[in-house]
């Protein structure tokens, strides 16, 4: 993708009069989670969630994601070989046992007395579960257990549209929650180590512990055996790469990519909000979580390893801090994250056209980028969700500037919407304030 000639325009980046209008969070949760692992591999769990109604409506029910139930024999995709065993033992509301409905990954709790605006309720869910081999995010490997979305997650409430909860989907991330505070305690058999979203994880085995995470979209916990870590401190943040003894070469490559990209993102986008970042190499899906990224690794050093590490780290800014609904607006975190990744390889690593590998995949797409997950046609969504936004935004950036201006655009976007929720119309409103273009500029690749 060739660099365009810079066209001077005093209007670019002048947004002093712009006022962000983020999507309001009508629901707010805080979580107290407990997990205990038996020697046989079964978890006993308790989740206490304080639910606050921040909307203007009275609620007659509470809606949660309960993703472990999407992996049971009854609900899992047919091509998944292994299934989870999940059992809810009881559900209480303010200490009183309640009836509930569990359908797929949706946990609904009817309220006899409506929850008024600005009021709170405490929900307690006691449950047991096993983790399936070769699941998706929520999975078990030879090294241990990946507890992704392993607790009831309060859905977002969106005013006139009500509870924003869609069925579990394999096409992408079908869950969306608001930033929240977490307290987590655990009890494990000997020999296990906890890797989590917390800043307080230790490298040594610890059978019991309590960790806290503040103002984060979700928490991830890995309970592993036989893994080692190498680390580097960059700008006061400990970067730790985890893998097995046989993964030394890949771990070194991953740490080098993490160290350099993390430093650049911190300088060019804004401070990372935690004191620790874990990169976990394992036979699992590559995925971002606050404070942790998993990188799919099958033993040999993948040629795309550095790109994967950089992309997942960039998500710490665009997903971890700037929030969006990944079911309805997946392009906003994946596309913007891939733009930051592309800028890194183009501007810092000097990879030239190879930096646009994902963007080039957009050439084959005939879809707009901002469809809900269930509205995309069959086949990969890499083009419209990852590649097309990079291609189109890079064209916009280089019409009025260069890579430096691209970083400045992402920095302004990040700082404007940190810890806020963005949707497609709000992004377009921001971009048309930042660049001298109108909405029609985006109409060819976004549904407005």
Secondary structure letter of residue 138 according to DSSP: B
DSSP class per residue in 277-330? EEEEEESS--EEETTEEEEE--SS--TTHHHHHHHHHHTTTBTTTBEE-TTT-H
Residues 431 and 428: their CA atoms lie apart, in Å, by: 5
Residues β-bridged to residue 233: 238
Q: What is the 3-state secondary structure (H, E, C) of 389-448?
A: HHHHHHHHHHHHCCHHHHHHHHHHHHHHHCCCEECHHHHHHHHHHHCCCCHHHHCCCCCC
Residues 41 and 36: their CA atoms lie apart, in Å, by: 10
CA neighbours closer than 13 Å in the CB half-sphere of residue 22: 18
Residue 315 assigned ligand-binding role: yes
Residues 326 and 156: their CA atoms lie apart, in Å, by: 12
Residue 311 assigned ligand-binding role: yes
Residues 427 and 121: their CA atoms lie apart, in Å, by: 34
Residues 444 and 388: their CA atoms lie apart, in Å, by: 11
Number of other residues whose CB lies within 10 A of the CB of residue 349: 17
Secondary structure letter of residue 22 according to DSSP: P
In this structure, are strands 193-196 and 208-216 parallel, antiparallel, or unpaired?
A: unpaired
- Which residues are known to be catalytic? 312, 386
| Binding-site positions for Zn(2+) | 311, 315, 334
| Binding-site positions | 311, 315, 334
């Amino acid at each position: 993708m060739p660099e365009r000639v810079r066209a001077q325009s005093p209007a670019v980046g002048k947004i002093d009069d712009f006022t962000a209008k983020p999507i309001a969070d009508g629901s707010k949760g805080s979580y107290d989670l407990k997990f205990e692992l038996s020697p046989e591999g079964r978890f006993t769990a308790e989740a206490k969630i304080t639910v606050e109604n921040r909307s203007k409506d009275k609620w007659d029910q509470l809606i949660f994601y309960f993703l472990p139930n999407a992996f049971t024999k009854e609900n899992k995709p047919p091509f998944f070989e292994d299934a989870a065993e999940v059992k809810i033992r009881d559900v209480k509301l303010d200490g009183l046992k309640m009836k509930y409905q569990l359908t797929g990954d949706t946990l609904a709790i009817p309220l006899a007395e409506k929850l008024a605006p600005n009021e709170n309720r405490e929900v307690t869910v006691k449950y047991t579960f096993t983790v399936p081999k070769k699941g998706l995010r929520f999975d078990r490997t030879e090294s241990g257990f990946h507890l992704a979305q392993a607790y009831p997650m309060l859905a977002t409430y969106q005013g006139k549209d009500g509870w924003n909860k869609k069925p579990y989907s394999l096409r992408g991330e079908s869950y969306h929650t608001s930033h929240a505070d977490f307290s987590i305690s655990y009890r494990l058999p000997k020999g296990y180590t906890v890797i989590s979203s917390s800043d307080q994880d230790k490298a040594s085995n610890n059978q019991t512990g309590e960790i806290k995470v503040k103002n984060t979209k979700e928490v991830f916990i890995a309970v592993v055996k036989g893994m080692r870590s190498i680390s580097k401190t960059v700008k006061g943040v400990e970067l730790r790469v985890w893998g097995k003894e046989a993964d030394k070469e890949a771990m070194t490559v991953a740490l080098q990519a993490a160290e350099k990209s993390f430093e650049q993102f911190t300088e060019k986008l804004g401070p990372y909000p935690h004191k620790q970042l874990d990169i976990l190499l394992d036979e699992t899906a590559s995925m971002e979580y606050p404070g942790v990224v998993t990188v799919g690794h099958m033993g040999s050093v993948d040629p795309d390893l550095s790109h994967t590490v950089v992309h997942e780290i960039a998500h710490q800014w665009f997903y971890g801090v700037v929030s969006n609904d990944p079911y309805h607006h997946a392009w906003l975190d994946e596309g913007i994250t891939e733009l930051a990744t592309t800028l890194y390889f183009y501007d810092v690593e000097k990879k030239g056209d190879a930096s646009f590998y994902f963007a080039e995949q957009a050439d084959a797409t005939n879809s707009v980028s901002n469809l809900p997950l269930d509205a995309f046609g069959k086949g990969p969504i890499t083009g419209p969700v990852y590649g097309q936004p990079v291609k189109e935004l890079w064209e916009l950036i280089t019409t009025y500037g260069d890579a430096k201006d691209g970083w400045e655009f992402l920095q302004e976007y990040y700082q404007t919407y940190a810890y806020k929720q963005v949707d497609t119309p709000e992004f377009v409103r921001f971009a048309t304030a930042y660049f001298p273009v109108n909405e029609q500029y985006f109409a060819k690749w976004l549904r407005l």
